[in-house]
Structure 1
Amino acid sequence: MTQIVMCDLDNLSFYNVNSVAIAILSRGKCGLSPCTTRYLVAMAMADLLTIVTEVILHRIMYFYFPLYFLKITHVCSAGYVLIRVAIDCSVWFTVTFTFDRFVAICCQKLKLKYCTKKTATIVLATTGTVFCLKNIPIYFKFKPIYIVDNVPMECSNKPSYFTDPRWIGFRMFEKALSPLIPFALILLLNGLTVKHILMASQIRQALKGQNKGENQSDPEMESRRKSMILLFSISGSFILLWFVYMLFFFEVEEYLDEDSAHLFEKVAYMLRNLSYCTNTFIYLATQSKFRQQLKNAMKHPFISTIKLCIK
């Protein structure tokens, strides 16, 4: 339990990491297309919002540094809505990014029309709006636990949330929408992308074999390789870190004893929350220009201080 608590506290440091990633990517000097940059910035912002709402406000502030304001039922209910919006956007922005890279790599004719900054903006704005509307009912599923000076406090699920067919249908819809369908789509799109790349590579190797005397580089395949590494790193990290949470969704813990089931639930949430902090490190590992921009950002305060002292 102590390790799980420390993991939540450690996520505070990732708050600044995601902020730095947003600042660097927004400058557009990482060698990525404007379309890709737009998706990555949106993903980083959704991850940052999730860390603020789920980790800092809900888990750390609410449980370890409780504030009276956060315990008011209306505020608590609104907080849960924000958490679900942030989580859904984080998940589905990953799906939209995966689809964008699938189109860019596998659909050359559609690429010119779809893989643009304008399309990315429309897709991200539409996705965000849809999930804001989708999560509004969550606000109305709670009831206060107790009353203090005529002020309703804390949040508890209404009994009808477990018996009303409408709420039961909403819960099933939520489970399908996040993360079951995203899992299936990411695996499908990545599978199709791998298949296309392997086929294209075989064709290019065959064409090169006809010109044995030439030792030419292949800029197209190199570009696809870099795009593929970024895509598979982000989607692979998402799948691995959400896998235990997926098992939790399928109620695997029912087959465990009480202590093991409780630990299983905590680990599932811990790994899920960790997934909101990994993308920045993926950029560092896969994008040399991102690393250079980060180095420049870290050097800037010291260089500015030295220049100021010299003057």
Structure 2
Amino acid sequence: MRIIYMGTPDFAVPALVALAKAGHEIVAIYSQPPRPAGRGKTLRPSPVHAKADEMGIEIRTPVSLKDPELRDAFAALKADVAVVAAYGLILPRPILEAPRFGCLNIHASLLPRWRGAAPIQRAILSGDNITGVTIMDMEAGLDTGPMRAKHITPIEDKTAGQLTQELAEAGAQLMVEVLDDLSQHPPVPQPGDGVTYASKIDKAESRIDFSRDAHQVERQVRAFNPFPGAFFEYRGERFRVLAAHVEEHGGRPGELLDNSLLIGCGHGAIRPTLIQRAGKGAMSAGELLRGHDMPAGSRIDA
């Protein structure tokens, strides 16, 4: 098939590679424009943009798709289908309708649960046991289109980063299977029940609230690893928690219950096992405590 590929982050790279390996013709790739990054704020292309350059495929990076000339240029590609994976821009109706078979999206949830921007993080935060990817036909609504295929995976104790990579690979293979024979994967309307929305992650959510149940705090740690990183502050310094486990101890929320970084929660306690100080690399709790005094009885900054 002649495919227009539309994606931006690391999540979208595996499907691009898989479709090319499957023999499809990628006629153009759309990705969000390069953004300032690093201390020097130099413009950095998105992961999909970088992969497009590596593959030698035309890359287009419009700031929106509202301009009629941009829409005409999209339609002029005469694609059979557009494949979309975490592109990040709204597709106007003329874009959705331009390819012969429309636009197919790789969405990282089991629709209709977790429509929206942050399905992986919201699934972890909510304590879901399973998640997955859905291949769906795109329409004007937010992730409301009919579904063509699903892949289910257990969440277990995976971080958002681990789950993102797993679902990216699964979605890539599932999209290849769907495009191999669209007739074997007819669109099925989403059920009206079970709809939830995965709102965009606000950085303010990453501050750990130790008044919550310890299991909620542990899910927060996994949901925000690697970004934006769950954190607490102690004596004015910020500490990112990259991994932790729950212990059934009692104690006041935010109180250090022993000399090995066991922190009381609203119910139970949490023991961070992998920590990152500002400007430093990740370290174990033991490594942190060898050079940083955090005695029992002291409290995390409110």
TM-score, normalised on structure 1? 0.21
Q: Which structure exhibits the higher relative contact order, with contacts defined as CA atoms closer than 8 Å and separated by 6 or more residues?
A: 1
Q: Flag the structure with higher strand content.
A: 2
TM-score, normalised on structure 2? 0.21
